[in-house]
Amino acid sequence: MAKGGKDLFVLRITCAAVVVLVIAFAVLWLHQGKEAKIERSTVNREALPASKCDPVDKWYQDDWGDWIDENGEEKALIAGMEYFYEKTGVQPYLWIMGENGKDYISEGSIEDLAKDTYAEMFGEDGGHLLIIFREYPNASSNYLVTVRPGEDAEEQVMDEQAREILLGYIDYFYTVEKYNEGEFFAKSLEKAGDRIMTKQISQAALYAIIIISVIAVAGVVIVVHIIRKRKVAEATQKAAAAKAEADLKKNEFAQQKYNDHLETLYVAITCPNCGSSNSKIRKGTTGNCQFCGSAIKVDEEGNVVIESGSKS
Ligand SMILES: [Zn+2]
């Protein structure tokens, strides 16, 4: 019963540990929020060679007018775009639509626009990336964005996963208030450039690693407990055996001591009557001769007391 109780206790501890770990991961996950949900980069990508992209001087066009001002915002934006270009070999171009964007409501329509605009702007040069961004007029919380790579850019760097990564970062940084409009695009491009060009382990592998780690930790806890329990049991058994042996020796010793003591209480005497020396009589008592049966008194020192009456 006690053993079963102990096992149950360990089981509970182990379950608790697993639950705590899972909750910790969940909290971490939620805390990371949207950024953690951005597509992971699971492909090895090589930057597009310089020969595949003929750079242009212009980085953006702000038709809305007040998105990218001439001061800090423009500087931040271009720095971010240059970083992306350096990382990927693909030169990005940002077009922020103005009132002209009101006719493009569906994603399909803005994708068609991107295709035509790319051809118009870069022609046969397949190493660029056109980003078209438009906010709904009078509704600042919604926007449409599309990214259109040239043929070479798409083939080597800006595949579907890479585009999802960039869109994910734009979506994420759109809600981060501390960045101005230039920094918002710049940060999205910098982070996306880094992620696109770095192979990460996949989501599934990440989960597998977490789960295997939790199982391994639980396994180690259980094994350590079993070994410790076994050792404790062995030690207890050994101690009990040693105690039993010690007790036995103690008893034997006590018995011996008692026998020795008894031995000292009796004295062998020679019968004054018949001369037989076979009798043992306790000191300070009167016993009988084994041979002739006559009473013999022995004093405390073990000497036969000769009665004065019987002697004369
Ligand atoms: Zn006798």
How many Cβ atoms from other residues are within 10 Å of residue 53's Cβ?
23
How many angstroms separate the alpha carbon of residue 272 from the centre of ligand 1? 7
Residue 69 is classified by DSSP as: -
How many angstroms separate the alpha carbon of residue 104 from the centre of ligand 1? 142
Q: How far is CA 179 from CA 45, 67, 145, 227, in A?
A: 29, 12, 18, 57
What is the model's pLDDT at position 257?
94
Please check whether residue 102 is in contact with residue 137, taking contact to mean a CB–CB distance below 8 angstroms: yes
Q: Which of the listed CATH numbers 2.20.28, 2.130.10, 2.60.120, 1.10.1760 matches domain 263-307?
A: 2.20.28
What is the model's pLDDT at position 20?
77
Please check whether residue 279 is in contact with residue 287, taking contact to mean a CB–CB distance below 8 angstroms: yes
- pLDDT per residue as tens digits for the range 182-233: 999 999 999 999 999 999 887 778 778 888 888 888 888 888 989 999 999 9
Protein residues within 5 Å, CB atom, of ion ligand 1 = 271, 273-274, 276, 289, 291-292
Those residues whose C-beta lies under 8 Å from the C-beta of residue 298, and which sit 6 or more positions away, are: 267, 269, 281, 282, 283, 284, 285, 286, 287, 304, 305
102 vs 109: CA distance, rounded Å: 11
How many angstroms separate the alpha carbon of residue 301 from the centre of ligand 1? 20
- pLDDT per residue as tens digits for the range 108-141: 888 999 999 999 999 999 999 999 998 875 555 5
How many angstroms separate the alpha carbon of residue 309 from the centre of ligand 1? 18
What is the model's pLDDT at position 151?
96
Fold (CATH) for 43-199: Diaminopimelate Epimerase; Chain A, domain 1 (3.10.310)
The strand pairing partners of 148, in sequence order, are: 130
Mean pLDDT per block of 10 residues along the chain (312 residues) reads: 61 76 73 75 94 95 87 91 97 93 83 95 96 75 88 97 96 88 95 94 80 83 90 95 95 93 88 88 91 90 74 39
Q: How far is CA 200 from CA 32, 45, 60, 170, 205, in A?
A: 17, 11, 30, 20, 10
H-type helices in the chain, by residue range?
A: 2-32, 72-88, 107-122, 151-156, 160-174, 181-196, 203-265, 308-311
Roughly what angle, to the nearest 10 degrees, separates helices 181-196 and 160-174?
Answer: 150
Domain ranges of the chain: 10-40+201-232, 43-199, 263-307
What is the model's pLDDT at position 312?
36
How many angstroms separate the alpha carbon of residue 279 from the centre of ligand 1? 9
Single out the residue of 129, 132, 92 nearest to residue 108, CA to CA.
132
By residue count, the chain amounts to 312
How many angstroms separate the alpha carbon of residue 288 from the centre of ligand 1? 8
292 vs 298: CA distance, rounded Å: 17
Q: Is-same-fold flag (43-199; 263-307)?
A: no
